[in-house]
Structure 1
């Protein structure tokens, strides 16, 4: 009888490195300031040269368009792919509310205070996009949650959905702006051109259709490619109408990761009663520990999820600069005692907010797919007026 030969243990794979926002270089919060500098002949090195010395700039923010997504589907986005430029980083967490607020204020989430889609303010979870708190509780004033004045106080024309006017999140990240509400995406170019013709140096336009499609249908079929093509036609329409002395810049707030329902994690089943509540996003889950259990929660989360997520305490996130330099203490308290930032294609579902379980495209964490977004710039193609 031949004795069995023992096999050497396979070492654990090293933890991948998170993509931390490049707050000293090209990141979404520096775009507006960089474009303003370029118009005055002082463009930062990371900004495409097509922005330099333009009479004015249109900044189109395409919600959900990650750099990896654009690169993988260049064939259906020929107009945008031909622009000059490359990837920059978004913010942590890589989600709409935090990133759009950084774009319009120019500061990190640790300064402006919108640290995710859902976070605790005054002991209650605030849904920022709906500006809603639990029933029976009064929602906080947007300017108290986010005190930084957007666009440095300049009345920038904003071309966005008409139904967003006067909502809590709009007040938080766009107050003082001149919102030109579009009814259908076919009118975005017309609204934008009117603002350009009025002589504004910057026009901000926002399109969220791609994000909606990615959330609903995921990243692996014709729904996404069709919407990417439609987005590229919007870009081409803007190019055809903008004169050559106007720059068109395109960026995004975050990318996406495809997550199948089979890869959802049941937090209650894994962690029991160690946490008293959740917030954040499915891929950047804030866990609020029950009284006195923060260390125990962190240890249990690392044991159970350390192979699929970056498990960090609040203090570690601050020390690693995920929210920017010197975040305000009132802001850091809004995220969880422990955060689960997924680096594998999984989702941590909040047992009290299971709507997220219906999504296929998700974001929020610090993977390349979620954190890297395009910054592409070119000049208009119409004759100068």
Structure 2
């Protein structure tokens, strides 16, 4: 029996609703939040603290957390539960959903590699097309023009080298950035900001995701989990009274031990180019070829992947609702979404053969992420 994809719970316990729920407790209603749905998250509706630090651990899925609980002694004092990420379960879409409080079809960052028109496929994290920086061609704050954190210019802490990137400009539009160069500085920067009177601080750490991509779920991964436990413990130590630490992640991971599958040549003869990533490939098909591509993909890969048309995905609101014509144009025509621990190859997606753990699809391991709350 084939598995069903796990769809994001945009109307409930989802990444999109974390910041709106926190801000509702900290600041009350505001016209700045007019785009947000009133969808409370039970774990956050009980917050009593006057200040909140939100820590996002890139790549820590709920299932991976459960399987490695003993590595996280600090989290034993947290209230924890699973929530859903967004679709696709990729960093660019999920982080933008956290900071804007909106689903991907609303904020417009619809994947890791998305079509910008004219055959240009942009790597969103690098903000590049064919290896070239395109910030002047596709200005980040025009491609994603929703201000982060309701336009309130809150403080955020991230790697110093991320500060000037196109993706940072897009998903943290309007935020005030504080950089860190080594992980031991994260707690120091958080302490300084909270002591200076910041009521809300957003913190991003990418180590788990990087290690899992390069090494898989082995000894390096376990060592990184222990390092993250120390980072969280350091933050807890410096938090003043009446301050909550909320921890979540952008997506989970699956380990893919085999090389990416090269799609069938006959199918590719009807495809102009691809976008997306290994576990969520978009095929941009030649005119009149959509049904032939769908049938071919289902016949060859229907037992290891979900095949859906763009119209199905939009109508069923996998990425949210009501896209503009421009945002809908960033999607492909047919999606091939991995169900099993496999990935699909696109020669224009550089570096694809080097990844061990991957994400992007809608398996339980990828879409469920933790929501953990500690009030001091």
After TM superposition, the structure 1 = structure 2 runs for residues 118-267 of structure 1, keeping only pairs within 5 Å, are 118-123=113-118, 124-134=120-130, 139-219=137-217, 221-262=218-259, 264-267=260-263
TM-score (norm 1): 0.91
Asked if the contact 1:261/1:357 (under 8 Å) is kept, the reply is: no
Relative distance call for 1:49 and 1:95 in structure 2 (3 A) is closer
Q: For the residues of structure 1 that align with 2:161 and 2:122, how far apart are their CA atoms?
A: 20
Among 30, 34, 37, the residue aligned to 2:17: 30
Choose which of 267, 270, 274 in structure 2 pairs with 1:274: 270
What's the offset of the Cα at 1:291?
Answer: 2.9
Distance 1:236 1:65 in 2: 17
Kept after mapping to 1: 8 A contact 2:187/2:231: yes
Question: Is 1:60 aligned to 2:51, yes or no?
Answer: no
- 1:308 & 1:289 partners in 2: Cα distance? 21
Gaps of 5+ in 2: 30-37
- Tell me the TM-score normalized by structure 2: 0.93
- Any conservation in 2 of the 1:294–1:338 contact (CA below 8 Å)? yes
- Checking the alignment, whether the CA contact within 8 Å between 2:274 and 2:346 is kept in structure 1 is yes
Distance in 2 separating the partners of 1:199 and 1:369: 38
Does structure 1 retain, via aligned residues, the 8 Å contact 2:154–2:175? Answer: yes
Contact 2:308 2:336 in 1 (8 A): yes
State the distance in 1 between where 2:80 and 2:312 align: 33
Aligned partners of 2:45, 2:188: CA distance in 1, in Å? 23
**Hey, what's the Cα distance between the residues in 2 that align with 1:267 and 1:226?**
36
Measured after TM superposition, the shift of residue 89 of structure 1 is 0.5
Partner Cα distance (2:131, 2:349) in 1: 14
Residues 41-80 of structure 1 correspond to what in structure 2 (within 5 A)?
A: 46-48=41-43, 52-80=47-75
Quick one: distance in 1 between partners of 2:266 and 2:190? 50
Query: Match of 1:325, SS?
Result: coil
Asked whether the 8 Å contact 1:287–1:338 carries over to 2, the reply is yes
In the alignment, the residues of structure 2 paired with residue 152 and residue 41 of structure 1 have an alpha-carbon distance, to the nearest angstrom, of: 12
Give 1:335's match in structure 2, choosing from 331, 335, 338.
331
Measured against aligned partners, the alpha-carbon deviations of 1:81-116 in whole angstroms (never above 9, x if no partner) come to: 431020100100000000000000011000100001
Structure 1: any 5+ residue segments left out of the alignment? 1-12, 381-385
Which residue, out of 279, 282, 289, partners 1:286? 282
- How many corresponding residue pairs? 365
Q: Tell me the distance in 1 between the aligned counterparts of 2:129 and 2:348.
A: 13
